[in-house]
Amino acid sequence: MDYAFFQAYWWFLVSLLGALLVFLFFVQGGQTLLYTIGKTEQERTMLVNSLGRKWDLTFTTLVTFGGAAFASFPLFYATSFGGAYWPWMLLLVCFVLQAVSYEWRTKAGNVFGHKTFEAFLLINGFGGLILFGIAVGTFFTGSNFTVNKDDLTQLAMPVISTWHTPWHGLEAVLNVRNLLLGFSIFFLARVLGSLYFINNIADDMIVKRSRKQVLRDAIAFLVMFLPFLVWTLFSQGFAVQPDTGAVFLEKGKYFFNFIQMPLVGLFFLVGVVSLLYGIFLGAFSKTSTKGIWFAGIGAVLSVLTLLLNIGYNNTSFYPSIYDLQSSLTIFNSSSSFFTLKVMSVVSLLIPFVLGYIIYVWRVMDKKQIDKAEMDEESVKY
Amino acid sequence: MGTLDLSIIDWSRAQFAVTALYHWLSVPLTLSLGFIMAVMETLYYRTGNEEWKRMTKFWMHLFAANFVLGIAGGIILEFQFGTNWSNYSWLVGDIFGAPLAIEGIMAFFLESTFFVVMIFGWNKTSKGFHLVSTWLTWFGATLSALWILVANAWMQYPTGTFFNIDTVRNEMTSFSAVLFSPVAMSKFFHTVTSSWIVGAAFVIGVSSWYLLKKRNIEFSHKSILIASVFGLAGILLTIFTGDSSAYQVAQKQPMKLAAMEGLYHGKNGTSLIAFGVLNPEKKVYNDSIPPFLFKMTIPDGLSWLAYHHLHAFVPGVQDLLDGSYLLTMANGEQIKPLTTDEKLTFGRMSHQAMIDYRLAKKDKNDSLMSVNRAIFDATSPYFGYGYVTSKAQLVPNVPLTFYAFHFMVIFGGFFLLFFVLLLYLRRKIQNMKWLLWVGIFSIPLAYLTSFSGWIVAEVGRQPWAIQDLLPTFAAVSNVPVSSIKTTLTIFVLIYTIFFIAIIGVMTREIRKGPESIK
């Protein structure tokens, strides 16, 4: 197993974390539906408590995604976070607001009232999802940065990664394709949120409204995602010359990546079909509560394979449109062979971690949330 | 290329300090209260006594309100390395990133998964599984502290690494050297055990308030007993680990030790300052103004603390910057450390070697490359000195470090006496109003003592982001100052709202008392 193997392995792990994160965004999607699906205080209490038992899983996945990106691709971490300062910072602010909201919302001594913390949950839902999608959109569309390691010994300006717009990342909002992805993630998360409610809450009205909502948001998702997908697959992609490492633009690069990596392409299709089947179950089945699992697995597979597409097969996963040769690949931005190997040993714990998360999820969700539980339970959000 | 706006460094540091301090409002209580309530739940598990369950649940409510505050602060700290310290992230991400990723995989998921069981699982899981979940939540938090402190210790004492001139960054060569570095071990145990004091003070403070109000008497006595035993264990271990921490600082960061003690001129058999008032007139390290207006000392104390040898020479700020000296180690061996002038020369040589190497690489000049690589490898442990333009930059803020250190030590002593007294008096404290008030005030005092420790550790190591390798000046991101000021304002605003909210939530929960627990 050589250096390239471990670089590919860590790109797989970071992509997997990103994909799981998008699935777990059902929490944020659900938050944006608090007032759409929850029409009474009691219904909203059920929704909040249902999401409240999962929010920190999403949060932890985001933090681990950041930590894994830092550890395995530090040049990406340094360049993107230090350069696209504003979208990342605003995203973090959205998550900071979420962290305390569930726990403090209905506490007796909460001097700001429960509406304040519900507003925080809405900000986290809307802002967090759209900003995340826009930020990830730049992985496909490119950003304005340069990396020059010679600058390290320039005493007056030793910073090696430089961002070349005064907006420090906010300019990504002006790119239509980034916006399409931003809203795709937003509507996908709402679809997943509704499907999760159908699975997790035993309440006829909530389930009925959720099923309706699945369809609405699914249509909006497809309207946003399909143009993004077609545009991305067939427009110019950021290809890498394997011998020299030089980056160049190649038409249809991402489409050919799926063809040249048939397994990745196949799993992408399986993901999309699974996602659509999950949506179908949620929107049209009268009894099935399993839509979240099909849609969830579909979302994970689709996102995972899209991220593998831009990381593998001589592709730049974080391109610079300001200076193509500063673009980042899994080879020029990764940690050392030694560090990747050490962390790979630790990564063997991941199945164990997934195992206890799934076990706890099953134990805690054995019984669906209902009105009676909300009335009886002393500990609730 | 342009010129870096120097105020970027100050504002980036301010943002890091503010967010770190807010984060630290929550962490020590999580590390300690988690243990206390796990002990209480264990007693419930073993005896079946519902009173222990009620106590566990009461403290658990307060734990949960505090725990989420820590999560809110933690996420900013992690991503801030990228947003505001991008050069740092590239230059040492190969070493520093690994503990962070491992922290996520090993500790955060453990904490967050079992936290949910602990809070909501009372009626959904078995008694045994719930108890295990409470212990795992505490264990996850402590494990998280281990990894982040390993990362922090590496910044204070970079080990198990080399500077790769080809990739232009530091790379890990030994994971075990990073994980088991003596500084990491001292730091971990000192930080975790000193956090126990905060939780003990919190439980004692709340219980003291009940006793003053003559309510929940039995609950309070039991809580104070458990907290005092835990607090006493904490302070004893803190003193022990503090001693080894000071020893490590003396060996690895002598400038920090000099600042902690306001020591400008060392000698054989240096006294330890028990209490002192610094002379505010002293502005420059090599002026002739005496550093103290007043001081009480313990003869030879600092020599013993620093080198475990009564007559050892402890260098002061001026010795470190302008002189050369001999160190006598505990085994009698004498060593002559590099002078600052030598380190500055090596720093500049390493910079020049890197420039020449990269030029030679472009020209494909192998012999010039190997010459410069050899120079670089020999001098790169002092790479950071290449950025230093005056020796005065190498002196941390002495008054802040000095007072923070002495505040920490003096109130550490107070807590030792306090816990012993509580254990000696036991139920008699019920009628000692003054002591109960001391109990209440011990809560903020414990936090301030804990903060002081961090100020010593972090202010005392300035100007280094990574000791000898990277000053904060060369570690930042090139982000406009206005942006940093804006994000700092946003964070201060949010955290102030959170601070008001948590005070409200906690005081109401305490007023309602354990009797409100179903």
d(CA A200, CA A293): 12
What stretches of B385-514 show up as alpha helix (H) in DSSP?
Answer: 398-425, 433-459, 481-512
Lowest-confidence segment of A301-310, A363-372, B63-72 by average pLDDT: A363-372
Note the Cα B225 to chain centre separation in Å: 28
Contact A180, A224 (CB under 8 A): yes
Predicted pLDDT of residue B324: 83
Q: In the structure encoding, which two tokens stand for residue B111, read together? A: 């904490």
Q: What is the mean pLDDT of residues B64-78?
A: 94
Contact A56 B115 (CB under 8 A): yes
Closest chain A residue by Cα to residue B480 = A166
Find chain B residues with C-beta within 8 A of A60's C-beta. Answer: 104, 108-109, 111-112
Predicted pLDDT of residue A257: 98
Contact A158 B89 (CB under 8 A): no
Residue identified by tokens 């059920």 is A46
Find chain A residues with C-beta within 8 A of B167's C-beta. Answer: 336
Find chain B residues with C-beta within 8 A of A104's C-beta. Answer: 65, 68, 501-502, 505
d(CA A121, CA A29): 10
Find chain A residues with C-beta within 8 A of B490's C-beta. Answer: 93
Give the pLDDT band of residue B518 (cuts 50, 70, 90): confident
Best B57, B67, B83, B508 member to test A by mutation, with max A CBs in 10 Å, is: B83
Contacts of A148 (CB under 8 A, 6+ apart): A160, A162, A326
Distance from CA of B341 to the nearest CA of A (A): 19
Find chain B residues with C-beta within 8 A of A161's C-beta. Answer: 86-87, 90, 477-478
- Residues 381-420 (B) with a CB less than 8 A from some CB of A: 386-387, 389
Q: In the structure encoding, which two tokens stand for residue B374, read together? A: 């050899």
Q: In the structure encoding, which two tokens stand for residue A246, read together? A: 């030089």
Q: What is the mean pLDDT of residues B44-61?
A: 95
Closest chain A residue by Cα to residue B490 = A93
Distance from CA of A325 to the nearest CA of B (A): 16
Contact A190, A32 (CB under 8 A): yes
Find chain A residues with C-beta within 8 A of B69's C-beta. Answer: 99-100
Interface membership of A80 toward B (CB under 8 Å): yes
Give the pLDDT band of residue B309 (cuts 50, 70, 90): confident
Q: Residue B3 is nearest to which of A59, A96, A157, comparing CB atoms?
A: A157
Interface membership of B479 toward A (CB under 8 Å): yes
Find chain A residues with C-beta within 8 A of B57's C-beta. Answer: 379
Q: In the structure encoding, which two tokens stand for residue A152, read together? A: 């390290």
Interface membership of A95 toward B (CB under 8 Å): yes
Interface membership of B359 toward A (CB under 8 Å): no
Contact B89 A64 (CB under 8 A): no
Predicted pLDDT of residue B334: 84
- The ipTM, to two decimals, is 0.94
Interface membership of A336 toward B (CB under 8 Å): yes
Interface membership of A378 toward B (CB under 8 Å): yes
State percent of chain B over pLDDT 70.
100
Interface membership of B236 toward A (CB under 8 Å): no
Interface membership of A56 toward B (CB under 8 Å): yes
Contact A338 B172 (CB under 8 A): yes
Interface membership of B251 toward A (CB under 8 Å): no
Predicted pLDDT of residue B112: 94
d(CA A155, CA B474): 8
Interface membership of B432 toward A (CB under 8 Å): no
Interface membership of B182 toward A (CB under 8 Å): no
Distance from CA of B439 to the nearest CA of A (A): 23
Interface membership of A372 toward B (CB under 8 Å): no
Q: Residue B168 is nearest to which of A149, A157, A364, comparing CB atoms?
A: A149
Q: Residue A161 is nearest to which of B86, B173, B175, comparing CB atoms?
A: B86
Predicted pLDDT of residue B453: 97
Sign of the dihedral through C-alpha B129, B135, B136, B138: positive
Output phi, psi for A318, to 5 deg. -140, 80
Distance from CA of A376 to the nearest CA of B (A): 10
Q: Residue B97 is nearest to which of A74, A86, A158, comparing CB atoms?
A: A74
Contact A78 B93 (CB under 8 A): yes
Q: What is the mean pLDDT of residues A168-183?
A: 97
Q: Residue B103 is nearest to which of A67, A150, A156, comparing CB atoms?
A: A67
Give the pLDDT band of residue A378 (cuts 50, 70, 90): low
Distance from CA of B412 to the nearest CA of A (A): 32
- Residues 192-251 (A) with a CB less than 8 A from some CB of B: none
What stretches of B180-309 show up as alpha helix (H) in DSSP?
Answer: 182-212, 217-252, 254-261, 301-307
d(CA B64, CA B116): 10
Q: What is the mean pLDDT of residues B296-307?
A: 94
Distance from CA of A321 to the nearest CA of B (A): 18
Cα dist from B280 to A99, B262, B293, B394, B398, whole Å = 43, 12, 9, 19, 11
For residue range A96-150, what is the model confidence (pLDDT) as tens digits?
999 999 999 988 889 999 999 999 999 999 999 999 999 999 999 999 999 999 9
* Residue type at B21 in one-letter notation: L
Find chain B residues with C-beta within 8 A of A100's C-beta. Answer: 68-69, 71-72, 498, 501-502
User: Which of B173, B116, B115, B110 is closest to B147 using CA atoms?
Assistant: B110
DSSP labels, A120-145 = HHHHHHHHHHHHHHHHHHHHHH-B-E
Q: Residue A56 is nearest to which of B71, B477, B491, comparing CB atoms?
A: B71
Contact A360 B354 (CB under 8 A): no
Q: Residue A104 is nearest to which of B65, B73, B125, comparing CB atoms?
A: B65
d(CA B468, CA B255): 12
Distance from CA of B467 to the nearest CA of A (A): 17
Q: What is the mean pLDDT of residues A300-312?
A: 98
For residue range B152-165, what is the model confidence (pLDDT) as tens digits?
999 999 999 999 99
Closest chain B residue by Cα to residue A156 = B3
Give the pLDDT band of residue B318 (cuts 50, 70, 90): very high
Contact A193, A47 (CB under 8 A): no
Q: Which residues are registered as beta bridge partners of A249? A: A238
How many residues appear in chain A? 381
Closest chain A residue by Cα to residue B83 = A82
In the predicted structure, residue A260 carries a pLDDT above the cut 90: yes
Q: Residue A96 is nearest to which of B76, B96, B389, comparing CB atoms?
A: B76
Note the Cα A86 to chain centre separation in Å: 18
Interface membership of A358 toward B (CB under 8 Å): no
* Residue type at A224 in one-letter notation: M
In the predicted structure, residue B40 carries a pLDDT above the cut 70: yes
Q: Is B414 exposed, middle or buried (0-12, 13-18, 19+ CB in 10 A)?
A: middle
Average pLDDT, chain B: 95
* Residue type at A300 in one-letter notation: V
Find chain B residues with C-beta within 8 A of A93's C-beta. Answer: 490, 494
Interface membership of B175 toward A (CB under 8 Å): yes
Interface membership of B517 toward A (CB under 8 Å): yes
Q: What is the mean pLDDT of residues B77-99?
A: 94
Domain residue ranges in chain B: 20-256+391-516
In the predicted structure, residue B1 carries a pLDDT above the cut 60: no
d(CA A281, CA A274): 10
